[in-house]
Amino acid sequence: MSTADVDNRYTLREFVEQTRQRDRGQGIFEMESARLLEVNLNGMVWTKMGSMVSYLGNIKFEREGVFEKGLGGFLKKAVTGEGAKLTKASGQGRLYLADYGKKVQILKLENESIVVNGNDILAFEPTIEWDIKMMKRVSSMLAGGLFQVNLQGTGLVAITTHYEPLTLVVTPDNPVYTDPNATVAWSGTLEPNLRTDVSLKTFFGRGSGESFQMEFRGNGFVVIQPYEEFYHAEA
């Protein structure tokens, strides 16, 4: 390869061509790259607060209102501080979402339910019913708390993971135990319990997260990531 050929690879024109946006015709949720989600918006979509990195067109952003889930939801938030992580994006245009360079996974629910760690939700369609809850038993052990987003219905959901996710199948004969900081999502058929391992607490010290595990029993699946994510309380 000649010097001229090498130099042509690094021109500004070549850079723009290699990195420019491309419409792949994949629908409302489109993988622009492994870590960047394009939303072809014509209406409304729910997004994680702070995940917008760019948009084209006429799009309006609104933080989830205190009465969005009714008076009961308002009273719950007043007590727990829940529900501070979602933004409603409305209008027409292209919206680009990302979350600290984490990998994006698109899931299609078909009258199904899934529970996602609040740190790992990126976006979902308005056809999906949702609720935000705090896992109080786990949150008491973790700084900043641990919120979960319960999603149910039919539509698209985008979640994020640090590196490649791994899905573990749960059966009545094979329960699954996970580190809360590495747990991304689980099927709506499962209800996790907090399990304390006294031997691990003794070995690692009382402050070790290793001594607390999420226990999943029944029929379903659990998604984990090869990374321990630590949680920070939202203002």
Label each residue of 121-172 as H, E or C.
Answer: EEEECCCEEEEEEECHHHHCCCCCCCEEEEEEEEEEEEEEECCCCEEEEEEC
Pick from 165, 145, 158: nearest CA to 95: 158
Residue 10 binned pLDDT confidence (cut-offs 50, 70, 90): confident
Q: Flag whether pLDDT at 1 surpasses 60.
A: no
**Range in 48-52, 61-65, 132-136 the model is least confident about:** 132-136
158 is written with which tokens?
């985008």
Contact, 89 vs 47, CB < 8 A? yes
Average pLDDT, the chain: 82
Residue-wise pLDDT tens digits, 183-197: 999 999 999 988 877
Which pLDDT score is estimated for 187? 96
Contact, 115 vs 165, CB < 8 A? no
Edge to edge, the sheet with strand 212-216 lists: 176-178, 212-216, 193-196
Pick from 205, 185, 181, 61: nearest CA to 115: 185
Quote the percentage of the chain above a pLDDT of 90. 57
Q: Flag whether pLDDT at 177 surpasses 60.
A: yes
Strand partners, 155: 109
Mean pLDDT of 166-190: 94
Query: Which residue did the predictor score with more confidence, 229 or 88?
Result: 88
Which pLDDT score is estimated for 19? 75
Residue-wise pLDDT tens digits, 111-130: 999 999 999 999 999 999 99
**What are the boundaries of each domain within the chain?**
24-224
CA pair distance 37, 82, nearest whole angstrom: 25
CA pair distance 99, 162, nearest whole angstrom: 10
Mean pLDDT of 18-33: 80
pTM: 0.81
211 is written with which tokens?
């001594």
Please state the CATH superfamily assignment of the domain spanning residues 24-224 in this structure.
Answer: Mitochondrial biogenesis AIM24 (3.60.160.10)
Contact, 149 vs 234, CB < 8 A? no
Give DSSP secondary structure letters for 95-119. Answer: EEE-STTPEEEEEEEEEEEEEEEGG
CA pair distance 171, 169, nearest whole angstrom: 7
